[in-house]
């Protein structure tokens, strides 16, 4: 396989990245970055659902080894965990970060410095966790980091509650998209995150991501270089709608999609307020989800890592 060069280097050299930074920054004046369309002027400190103004907030950053094997490799995925979120699932396992906003405000220069530090530590990629509400800040920081030698792939690690218009600004910047398709049923989405339109936007977003980067490409050393990696968290009582989601992926995205069906659901945040999700999933629920994926034509499944509790 020829030497890999991240797509953003070509975009930067053509002068296109600066245009993307400017367009994204303009969107902050009447913010419509995500489907919430809060229409607030974040440059003046107005806050919408994500409670984030002109600057991004970061909870932590460092080599992360809890991701999928093609991202982690030997040296880890360089994860940057952004505070706040545009989706706000009531059961979020990072509730203190997404809902309570724990973290520190950072400048674009500081964000670029984090990226370079992760690269210098040997991380195989820079993994932006919960990035949808801070796309302008990320693009600006990427431009700064490129000038200082950034050269590893970028991962857009998202809930998939993304607008296609915003994702198009990221074309030619991100080599790897990692969306989580959470719920198929709009009523379930309404209960879980007050976003009845989540399934519709997630479908559009994932199709657009695949259009940009295609199926996941893994090099001879087992490291992901480019493409789409889809996550799906199995929920108690089948609430996530696994079969429908897997059918959509196989028929509307690609039967060669790389999918990680995750078993680690546990009730966090306000999950205990909803009876159906106030427990962990049972082993048989996870096995059923795997079987449904295979029956719907998904064959490229991430190796299962089971984390069930003993009841």
The predicted structure's pLDDT at residue 4: 85
Contact between 127 and 64 (Cβ < 8 Å): yes
Instruction: State the residue range of the domain holding 45.
Output: 7-301
Query: pLDDT tier at 311 (50, 70, 90 boundaries)?
Result: very low
- Mean pLDDT in the chain? 95
Per the domain annotation, does 310 fall within a domain? Answer: no
Q: What is the CATH number of the domain that holds 48?
A: 3.20.20.70
| Cα(171)–Cα(214) distance, integer angstroms | 12
* Polymer length in residues for the chain: 311
Per the domain annotation, does 179 fall within a domain? Answer: yes
Contact between 59 and 103 (Cβ < 8 Å): yes
| Cα(215)–Cα(176) distance, integer angstroms | 10
| Cα(185)–Cα(248) distance, integer angstroms | 13
Give per-residue pLDDT as tens, 103-144.
Answer: 999 999 999 999 999 999 999 999 999 999 999 999 999 999
Per the domain annotation, does 234 fall within a domain? Answer: yes
Is the pLDDT confidence value at 309 over 70? no
Is the pLDDT confidence value at 243 over 90? yes
Detail the DSSP E strand segments found in the chain.
56-64, 77-82, 104-106, 126-129, 154-158, 176-179, 217-218, 224-233, 258-262, 300-301
Per the domain annotation, does 1 fall within a domain? Answer: no
| Cα(90)–Cα(69) distance, integer angstroms | 28
As a whole number, mean pLDDT of residues 148-157 equals 98
Per the domain annotation, does 308 fall within a domain? Answer: no
Of 129, 125, 132, give the one whose Cα is nearest residue 151.
Answer: 125
Quote the number of domains for the chain.
1
H or E stretch at 198: helix 198-213
Per the domain annotation, does 194 fall within a domain? Answer: yes
Per the domain annotation, does 61 fall within a domain? Answer: yes
Per the domain annotation, does 311 fall within a domain? Answer: no
Contact between 293 and 261 (Cβ < 8 Å): yes
H or E stretch at 126: strand 126-129
| Cα(87)–Cα(50) distance, integer angstroms | 8
The SS3 of residue 139 is helix
């Amino acid at each position: 396989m020829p030497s890999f060069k991240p797509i953003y280097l070509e975009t930067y050299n053509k002068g296109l990245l600066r245009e993307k930074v400017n367009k994204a920054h303009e969107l902050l004046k009447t913010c419509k970055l995500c489907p919430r369309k809060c229409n607030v002027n974040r440059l003046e400190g107005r806050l919408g659902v994500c409670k984030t103004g002109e600057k991004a907030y970061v909870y932590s950053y460092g080599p992360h080894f809890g991701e999928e094997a093609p991202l982690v490799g030997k040296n880890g995925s360089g994860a940057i965990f952004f505070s706040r979120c545009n989706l706000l699932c009531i059961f979020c396992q990072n509730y203190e970060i997404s809902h309570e906003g724990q973290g520190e405000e950072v400048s674009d220069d500081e964000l670029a410095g984090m990226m370079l530090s992760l690269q210098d530590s040997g991380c195989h990629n820079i993994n932006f966790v919960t990035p949808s509400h801070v796309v302008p800040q990320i693009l600006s920081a990427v431009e700064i980091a490129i000038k200082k030698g950034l050269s590893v792939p970028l991962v857009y690690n998202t809930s998939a509650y993304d607008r296609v218009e915003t994702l198009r600004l990221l074309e030619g910047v991100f080599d790897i998209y990692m969306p989580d398709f959470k719920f198929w049923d709009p009523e379930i989405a309404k209960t879980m995150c007050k976003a009845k339109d989540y399934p519709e936007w997630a479908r559009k977003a994932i199709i657009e991501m695949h259009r940009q980067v295609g199926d996941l490409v893994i090099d001879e050393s087992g490291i992901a270089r480019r493409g789409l990696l889809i996550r799906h968290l199995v929920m108690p009582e089948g609430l996530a709608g696994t079969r429908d989601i897997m059918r959509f992926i196989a028929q509307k995205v690609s039967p060669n999609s790389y999918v990680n069906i995750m078993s680690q659901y546990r009730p966090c945040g306000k999950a205990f307020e909803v009876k159906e999700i106030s427990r962990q999933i049972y082993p048989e629920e996870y096995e059923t989800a795997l079987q449904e994926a295979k029956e719907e034509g998904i064959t490229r499944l991430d190796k299962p890592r089971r984390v069930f509790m003993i009841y």
